[in-house]
Amino acid sequence: MTDIHPPQGYRERPSAIGDAVLWTRKGVSDTDLPVLPDGSMDLLWMNGRLSIAGPDTRAYRPPSGFATRITGIRFYPGTAPSLLGIPAHELRDTRIDLADLWRTAELRRANELIATAPTPAMGLEAIARWRATESTPPDPKLRFIVASLQSGAPVSFAAAELGTGPRQLHRMSLTAFGYGPKTLGRILRMQRALALAREGTALADAAATVGYSDQSHLTRDIRELSGMSPRQLLTNGNAAKSE
């Protein structure tokens, strides 16, 4: 899950697996801000167990001290369900052990890959690479949906360009992203506006760039999705960057 300021002890780097990001963080403190929804799903290694962070529709605050070190691989929106073998909407707003989702043989193989890898991050990459050989690649339409909605285009534009009806697009989005295209668009647009603001763009200009009607529209979305104001998010240097 992506956010605006990395918490203390957070590191990330691009993965060799299709636009995924590998990250580590050293524990969770009471001063960390919540993780904001971003349309992504993560495969996690913490406390000696594999787990999944499903797609969020609201901010998530990890309990303080629930892990001393977390390693994760954050998948590009829409790509995790085919690798993990479960529709995204079944994991919405959920953190769940992989043992509760995969068959015994699959879980054993995943744990072997983690155990034999030089680092947990490389182990997570190995799991993703293995699953990619066992699954159907994500529909290329999903990447177009993400790019279209992230730009601020209406859902009707994506549907028209793909030649799909609203209901078909909604079903596709539930399976791939965990929620309908309107919710996905709202989340992606908020994240893009926050990224621009972090780089120094004035909030009013960031709002206009990504398609909000005005700055107050952006502020309302941020409050509803995070429970905080833009100022609180942008001035805090210890915001949760990822799960």
* 239 pLDDT above the threshold of 50: no
CB contact set of 101 (below 8 Å; sequence gap of 6+): 52, 84, 85, 86
pTM given for the model: 0.89
Q: For residues 44 and 70, is the Cβ–Cβ distance under 8 A?
A: yes
Say what the pLDDT of residue 236 is.
64
- % of residues, the chain, pLDDT over 70: 89
Q: Strand runs (DSSP E) across 83-140, as ranges?
A: 95-97
So what's the pLDDT on residue 220?
A: 96
CATH number of 1-243: 1.10.10.60
Considering only 51-55, 128-132, 219-223, 236-240, which range has the smallest mean pLDDT?
A: 236-240
Write out the H or E segment, with its range, that includes residue 74.
Answer: strand 70-75
pLDDT one-digit tens code per residue, 146-184 = 999 988 889 999 999 999 999 999 999 999 999 999 999
| Residue 211 backbone class (left: φ over 0; alpha: ψ -120 to 50; beta: rest) | left
**More reliable by pLDDT, 145 or 9:** 145
